[in-house]
Structure 1
């Protein structure tokens, strides 16, 4: 069976789906991925064929306008920014999704490509499966991410109202581009939301995050939205993309020279003044008497200069495999991307989420509610607030709670479970 997987977004959007693609290929299926141009080489390094699909989101976020939107921490503003980028890229994106899916017997889409993929699947008469990285469908347990202050606990009626509003905004913003695609495919125009289209077609929406993170939600959804847990790359794929290289020996050697450090990282979200953030981390760590392991992410940070300014109690590093290093750390501070969040929590690390936007405030609120960490929006990040929040995270009771929570996470067979669902949909 030929399976097409059109994707776009950041590495955090692509990497877990590569794990699924490799599992499907291992079962004898012919798999092709569409990936952002800056991540095609990452995918092909694992042995999966890939073609360019969608814009370079890293370039968008790194632009002056993107940096201002990120600094504002406003999800609506970021959605508008992405919508403007897609307006200029819409025709090309339509064409690329069609090309990725050509000749496929089944299409697997993601949260950000399911709208286009649903029309392509309809025109081709093939089944569709969608992958969701966070709760992105109507429910009464949680509001639409970013629509309300994350520490609020509104009633079910209010939560459902935020989903109704958000789905209609998305429908209106993207309707013109999607109907242009439908015209190209010979389909009639549609005014329905993507959620409604997928529901009518009975499309499985696989939740590729852990149900332990969202208590109360699995009970509200039926078998069309199964939870698999986070999808992780196998050892061979991780070696192929350079995750398990020799740099780990240096990092672990530094860790062994003193008490377990606190990890600080902001993943694929660029930071406008990374040097200032590193200086703040250095000052706060010194006040609390902890060592700091800082990951530069996508930033333009001069690693050598940062290492010189940080002193012996601060190490600044490039990319590394979290699961090899996190078990040797005391806590984690990061932006709240689901990949980094999962790796930290499964290592039993109490976590401080400094959320930027999109679903990150949701995960920040959840670690606080679950008693395994704290949440500090990046827009409010300052030395004093960081110190107070990190002090709470480092308390022994948080470490104990995080260790208990780690035992509840699904860490084995998640990609296999997702592949079973895909194969069942084909049947």
Structure 2
């Protein structure tokens, strides 16, 4: 079977889908991945066929405008910025999705490509499966991510109202571009939302995050929205993309020379002065009497600038599953991939959220008692000290350790591939 997977977004959006693509290829299917231009080589390194699809979102986030929008912590501002970029790219994006899906027997889309992919699959008269990285459909248990403060626990009618507003806003904003695509495909115009279109067609919407993170949500939905857990690359693929290229002996040796450290990985956060933030981490660690393992993920901090001090280490990329189990706690931006890795290692986790679904995940780790949430806009030495201190209490550490075994750590790719194959069975 020929399976096309049009993608857009950052590496965090692409990597789990590559893991799925490799599983589908192992089952004998021909898989073509449409990836952002900056990630085509990343996908191809794993051996999957890859073709450019969509704009370079990472370049947008790294721009001065993108950094300012991220630093503001305003999801609507970010959505407008991305929407503006997509408006200028819409026609080309339409062509690229059509090109990626040409000749396919089945299309696999994601949260951010399902709108276009649904029209292409309709025109080609082939099945579609959509993968969701976070809750993005109407339910009474949770509000639309970013619509309300994550610590709020609103009643069901309020949650429902946020979804109604958000889905209609998305429908109105993108209708012009999607109808241009439908015209190109020879399809009639549509005023329906993507959610309604997929529901009418009975398209499976696979939740590729862990149900343990969203208690009460699985009961809201039927079998069309199964939960499979987070999909991870196997060792061979990780070696192919360079994720295991570094020597972990030095990191593990440093960890073994003292008490378990707290991991600080600020990932895609808009850090404008890395020296100041590194000084803040050093200050916080000294106040709490802990060691700090810092991931060099900031734009102007060279990962080659590895340093080893008794109580602070700055390192480049490493395999989370090799290092996290030896840490005491984790501080990061709350991307679902890093969040999964820190929680499955049993680490109390502080989410320093920037935008989109990250504040929701920050609210969830607090609600579940396995961590804390500190919006990036509130990040300072005093707030970080208080939040990290809360992670290191015996109660929080015990809760995180007890939560880890409830996560799905095996079989997510296989389960998702089974659902895809059943779509044409």
Q: TM-score normalised by the shorter chain: which range applies?
A: over 0.9
For the residue of structure 2 that corresponds to 1:209, the secondary structure is coil
State the match for 2:313 in structure 1: 315
Q: Is 2:379 aligned against 1:381?
A: yes
Determine the C-alpha separation between the residues in 2 that align with 1:11 and 1:69.
Answer: 19
Shift of 1:283: 0.7
State the match for 2:64 in structure 1: 64
Determine the C-alpha separation between the residues in 1 that align with 2:129 and 2:208.
Answer: 12
Shift of 1:306: 7.7
> What residue ranges of structure 1 are gaps of 5+ in the alignment?
none
Determine the C-alpha separation between the residues in 1 that align with 2:275 and 2:45.
Answer: 32
Shift of 1:245: 2.1
Shift of 1:307: 3.6
Cα deviation, 1:197-229, whole Å, max 9, x if unaligned, reads 111110000000000000000000000000000
Q: Is the 8 A contact 1:327 1:348 kept in 2?
A: yes
State the match for 2:225 in structure 1: 225
Residues 1:304 and 1:244: Cα distance change in structure 2 (over 3 Å): closer
Shift of 1:275: 2.4
Q: Which of 321, 332, 338 lines up with 2:336 in the alignment?
A: 338
Deviates further, 233-242 or 345-354: 233-242
Q: Is the 8 A contact 2:111 2:132 kept in 1?
A: yes
Determine the C-alpha separation between the residues in 1 that align with 2:165 and 2:48.
Answer: 38
Determine the C-alpha separation between the residues in 2 that align with 1:172 and 1:318.
Answer: 43
Determine the C-alpha separation between the residues in 2 that align with 1:120 and 1:273.
Answer: 44
Q: Is 2:29 aligned against 1:16?
A: no
Determine the C-alpha separation between the residues in 1 that align with 2:94 and 2:274.
Answer: 36
Q: Is 2:185 aligned against 1:185?
A: yes
State the match for 2:415 in structure 1: 417
Q: Is the 8 A contact 2:306 2:316 kept in 1?
A: no
State the match for 2:258 in structure 1: 258
Determine the C-alpha separation between the residues in 2 that align with 1:179 and 1:274.
Answer: 44
Determine the C-alpha separation between the residues in 2 that align with 1:237 and 1:369.
Answer: 34
Ranges of 4+ aligned residues in structure 1 off by more than 3 Å: 302-308
Q: Is the 8 A contact 2:307 2:313 kept in 1?
A: yes
Deviates further, 250-259 or 25-34: 250-259
For the residue of structure 2 that corresponds to 1:246, the secondary structure is coil
State the match for 1:235 in structure 2: 235
For the residue of structure 1 that corresponds to 2:196, the secondary structure is helix
Shift of 1:253: 1.4
Q: Is 2:112 aligned against 1:122?
A: no
Cα deviation, 1:285-309, whole Å, max 9, x if unaligned, reads 111011111112252214566848x
Q: Is 2:7 aligned against 1:7?
A: yes
Deviates further, 248-257 or 140-149: 248-257
Shift of 1:23: 0.5
Q: Is the 8 A contact 2:348 2:392 kept in 1?
A: yes
Q: Is the 8 A contact 1:90 1:177 kept in 2?
A: yes
Determine the C-alpha separation between the residues in 2 that align with 1:48 and 1:343.
Answer: 24
How large is the Cα RMSD of the aligned pairs?
Answer: 1.2
TM-score by length of 1: 0.98
Determine the C-alpha separation between the residues in 1 that align with 2:302 and 2:410.
Answer: 37
Cα deviation, 1:371-415, whole Å, max 9, x if unaligned, reads 100000000011000000110011111111111100100001110
Q: Is the 8 A contact 1:33 1:49 kept in 2?
A: yes
Q: Is 2:107 aligned against 1:107?
A: yes
State the match for 1:407 in structure 2: 405
Cα deviation, 1:19-45, whole Å, max 9, x if unaligned, reads 110010000000010001111111111
Determine the C-alpha separation between the residues in 2 that align with 1:171 and 1:284.
Answer: 45
Residues 1:303 and 1:312: Cα distance change in structure 2 (over 3 Å): farther
Determine the C-alpha separation between the residues in 1 that align with 2:125 and 2:369.
Answer: 47
Q: Is the 8 A contact 2:331 2:352 kept in 1?
A: yes
Q: Is the 8 A contact 1:294 1:317 kept in 2?
A: yes
Q: Is the 8 A contact 1:10 1:268 kept in 2?
A: no
Residues 1:364 and 1:178: Cα distance change in structure 2 (over 3 Å): same
Q: Is the 8 A contact 2:288 2:385 kept in 1?
A: yes
Cα deviation, 1:309-358, whole Å, max 9, x if unaligned, reads xx431111111111111001000000000000000000000000000000
Determine the C-alpha separation between the residues in 1 that align with 2:380 and 2:71.
Answer: 13
Matched positions, count: 425
State the match for 2:170 in structure 1: 170
Determine the C-alpha separation between the residues in 1 that align with 2:258 and 2:63.
Answer: 39
Residues 1:29 and 1:314: Cα distance change in structure 2 (over 3 Å): same
Shift of 1:179: 0.8
Residues 1:410 and 1:133: Cα distance change in structure 2 (over 3 Å): same
State the match for 2:276 in structure 1: 276
Determine the C-alpha separation between the residues in 1 that align with 2:13 and 2:174.
Answer: 20
Determine the C-alpha separation between the residues in 1 that align with 2:95 and 2:269.
Answer: 28
State the match for 1:247 in structure 2: 247
State the match for 2:424 in structure 1: 426
Determine the C-alpha separation between the residues in 2 that align with 1:42 and 1:364.
Answer: 29
Cα deviation, 1:78-134, whole Å, max 9, x if unaligned, reads 100000000111111111100000000000000000000000000000000000000
